[in-house]
């Protein structure tokens, strides 16, 4: 079956880089990335640098993503940022439910779900992250954990809404550890996610929603992962902080 899913590579900078470094990296990426690429690319700078980065990517084919947002539209929510604020400064995407937010900052499937709903309502494409810990994998509960995160994070969405999201499978044990999932390990979970999309929604949603893999993706291991039938892109952490390594992953995807 011919896939309609455009490969999507996103660079999650997390809480790294200065303003000057963010600008320099963005300039290097826009200079090297060609508009007619077969790959969709987005970068996800820290929120305080989104505006500076937006000014550089505007009019290029590099997309802009936030790393988080709050589900309320406005009001007394000190420190939080709304979907409307993100679209206002030029974001098209927002990462939601990243494992660091789930495990370090206390986000639950229910709070992730509120954010996913608000992001879609606010015309942002949510990159919804899920993934098991090492303990869960070793206990043989990867499938159950993924299913619970999937159902909880997407609760209440219509098929039309789910068709607009991107899913990122990020096994927690592979994030920032250098211990990448093997292509077979990743493909197994991606295929399960594809089956969940089909059973909970429909075959059109299942064949259109892109599922990125994240966790120690590098230029050297990207091609083996991205040639798996159900791996449609990558959510890259450490290797997205330097132009050369991030561009290497984009080349491997193309
Ligand atoms: P690393 O690529 O640094 O392992 O991070 C992956 C990740 O968490 C991307 O969101």
pLDDT along the chain (254 residues), means of 10: 81 98 98 88 98 97 98 98 98 98 97 98 98 96 98 98 98 93 97 98 97 97 97 98 97 94
Half-sphere exposure of 70 (CA within 13 A, CB side): 12
Closest approach atom of ligand 1 to CA 98 = 10
Q: Residue 19 domain-assigned?
A: yes
Q: Residue 231 domain-assigned?
A: yes
Structure-block tokens of residue 131: 């993934």
Percent helix, strand, coil in the chain, to 5, is: 45, 15, 40
- Total domains in the chain come to 1
Given 40, 71, 98, 107, the catalytic residue: 98
Q: Residue 68 domain-assigned?
A: yes
Angstrom CA distances, 152 to 56, 65, 227, stand at 36, 23, 29
Q: Residue 2 domain-assigned?
A: no
Q: Residue 204 domain-assigned?
A: yes
- Residue 61: its pLDDT value, please? 94
Q: Residue 117 domain-assigned?
A: yes
**Separation of 76 CA from ligand 1 center, angstroms?**
32
Do the beta carbons of residue 163 and residue 198 sit within 8 Å? no
SS (H, E, C) 92-110: CEEEECCHHHHHCCCCCHH
Tell me which residues have their CB closer than 6 angstroms to ligand 1: 12, 98, 170, 175-176, 214-217, 235-239
Given 100, 107, 136, 170, the catalytic residue: 170
Closest approach atom of ligand 1 to CA 217 = 2
Closest approach atom of ligand 1 to CA 177 = 4
To test the pocket of ligand 1, the residue of 45, 186, 217 to mutate (highest count of ligand atoms within 8 Å of its CB) is: 217
Half-sphere exposure of 159 (CA within 13 A, CB side): 13
- Residue 3: its pLDDT value, please? 53
To test the pocket of ligand 1, the residue of 103, 212, 213, 215 to mutate (highest count of ligand atoms within 8 Å of its CB) is: 215
Do the beta carbons of residue 120 and residue 112 sit within 8 Å? no
What is the domain range of residue 149? 8-253
Helix (H, G, I), strand (E, B) or coil at 64: strand
Q: Residue 175 domain-assigned?
A: yes
Q: Is 98 among the catalytic positions?
A: yes
For position 221, which CATH number holds?
A: 3.20.20.70
* Cβ-based burial of 191 (10 A; exposed 0-12, middle 13-18, buried ≥19): middle
């Amino acid at each position: 079956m011919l896939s309609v899913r455009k490969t999507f590579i996103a660079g999650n900078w997390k809480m790294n880089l200065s303003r000057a470094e963010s600008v320099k990296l963005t300039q290097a990426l826009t200079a090297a990335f060609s508009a007619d690429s077969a790959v969709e690319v987005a970068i996800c700078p820290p929120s305080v640098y989104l505006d500076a980065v937006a000014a550089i990517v505007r009019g290029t084919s590099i997309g802009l993503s936030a790393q988080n947002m709050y589900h309320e539209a406005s009001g007394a929510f000190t420190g939080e940022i709304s979907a409307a604020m993100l679209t206002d400064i030029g974001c098209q995407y927002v990462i939601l439910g990243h494992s660091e937010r789930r495990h370090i900052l206390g986000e639950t499937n229910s709070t992730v779900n509120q954010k996913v709903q608000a992001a879609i309502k606010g015309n942002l494409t949510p990159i919804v992250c899920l993934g098991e810990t090492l303990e869960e994998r070793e206990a043989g509960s990867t499938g159950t954990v993924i299913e619970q995160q999937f159902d909880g994070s997407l609760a209440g969405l219509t098929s039309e809404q789910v068709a607009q999201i991107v899913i990122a499978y990020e096994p927690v044990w592979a994030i920032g550890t250098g211990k990448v999932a093997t292509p077979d390990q990743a493909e197994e979970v991606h295929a399960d996610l594809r089956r969940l999309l089909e059973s909970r929604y429909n075959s059109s949603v299942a064949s259109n929603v892109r599922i990125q893999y994240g966790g120690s993706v590098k230029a050297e291991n990207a091609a083996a992962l991205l040639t798996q039938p159900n791996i449609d892109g990558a959510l890259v952490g450490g290797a997205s902080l330097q132009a050369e390594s991030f561009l290497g992953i984009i080349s491997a995807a193309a």
